[in-house]
Chain A
Amino acid sequence: MMRTAFLALLLGAAMTQPAWAEIARIKRSVGTASVERGQDKLTPTPGFQLLAGDTLVTGKNGQLSLTFIDDTRFSVGPNSRISVDQFDYDRKNQTGKFVTRVNRGSLAIVSGQIAHSKRDAMKVRTPTSLLGVRGTRFIVEVPK
């Protein structure tokens, strides 16, 4: 009985997404690009692990490609500033909440499990609007 409870706890811990856990991995980084995490400015290289709350920043020749753990894919264009404000994902049920803010620049998205799980579980915010993602491949542009 104890063992079952412990295992269930263990499995539960492995399946939900704590705030400090990886949410995405950088696949490609070109030109001037950084990841802002609190006060820190980090340099993304392939394999770099993104956390919820991180901000992706690119310069005029910058480009970033990344895949999230729910299979969502991002391509970030030059002169961009994009924050992942919220990313809660339950790997077991493949459900969650995903809020991305495009402050400026361009972002191509192919949506993944979170968008698929429930209507408007994935949202994209721009300075003027709020979008609900219902699938699957689109581009958001916010010129300066």
Chain B
Amino acid sequence: MRIRSLSPLIMAGLLASCATPSVTLLTSEEGRQGAVALLEENGKPVESEISELNSRTNLSGKPRTRSIDPAKLSARKRTLLSELPPPPMRQTLYFKEGTTELMPESEPGLAYLKAEVAQRPGAEVQVTGYTDTLGSSEDNDLLSQQRAEEVLAALAQQGIDKGLMSAVGRGERELREETPDGVANPVNRRVVVIVR
């Protein structure tokens, strides 16, 4: 609909600029450096890297990279970018030592997660439990799984569909704070919830 309101001259310009396959490299959302490598061209291996942000490179014929003005992207590209899903969000909940009981300050996190899921149609919720290094690694595998399942159940109680969620325990692997074995650590006793 929007395209129809554009003048024929602009339309012609739009079509011309899109006539060949191309890659448009943009700034990342967090301002990180990005790049795309050209590994093959017309079936032949090549090796060149496009690292100029806000540039467009044609992918047929001899590749040429040209700067573009990100403020003047075509309506089509703007729509495409605005339709990208929001970035996944992560929330960490902490537990009392040796238990599946949430620390009081982590409890509001559940309602926050519920609100986040409600805002995201087609959400996927990944719940991963962890422990500190106190106790045997077997017990910790079990405890971390129980923590994850406890959080999943609490989220279900908040009204989040169980079918959207998965729970897994990682025991004392991937410590947030490296400690020797047998050390109680409040930061490592956690469940990380990722909402995509």
Contacts and interface: CB of A to CB of B under 8 A. Distances in A.
A38 interface: no
A7 B28 CA distance: 40
B40 A137 contact: no
Contact of A137 (B34, B76, B164, B173): B34
Given A65-B84, A75-B83, A141 B24 contact: yes
Interface stretch (B13-21, B108-116, B182-190): B13-21
A78 to B, nearest CB: 8
Contacts of A128: 21, 41-42, 59-60
Interface size class of A (residues with CB under 8 A): 35 or more
Contact of A120 (B34, B39, B42): B39
Nearest to A102: B21
Interface string A2-23: 0110010001001100000010
Contact of A141 (B18, B28, B126): B18
A1 B152 CA distance: 29
Given A28-B122, A128-B42, A135-B35, A75 B81 contact: yes
11 contacts: A71-B196, A108-B77, A120-B37, A126-B21, A130-B40, A137-B34, A139-B24, A140-B21, A140-B23, A141-B23, A143-B19
Interface of A: 3-4, 7, 11, 14-15, 22, 25-28, 45-48, 63, 65-67, 69, 71, 73-75, 77, 91-92, 106-108, 110, 120, 123, 126-143
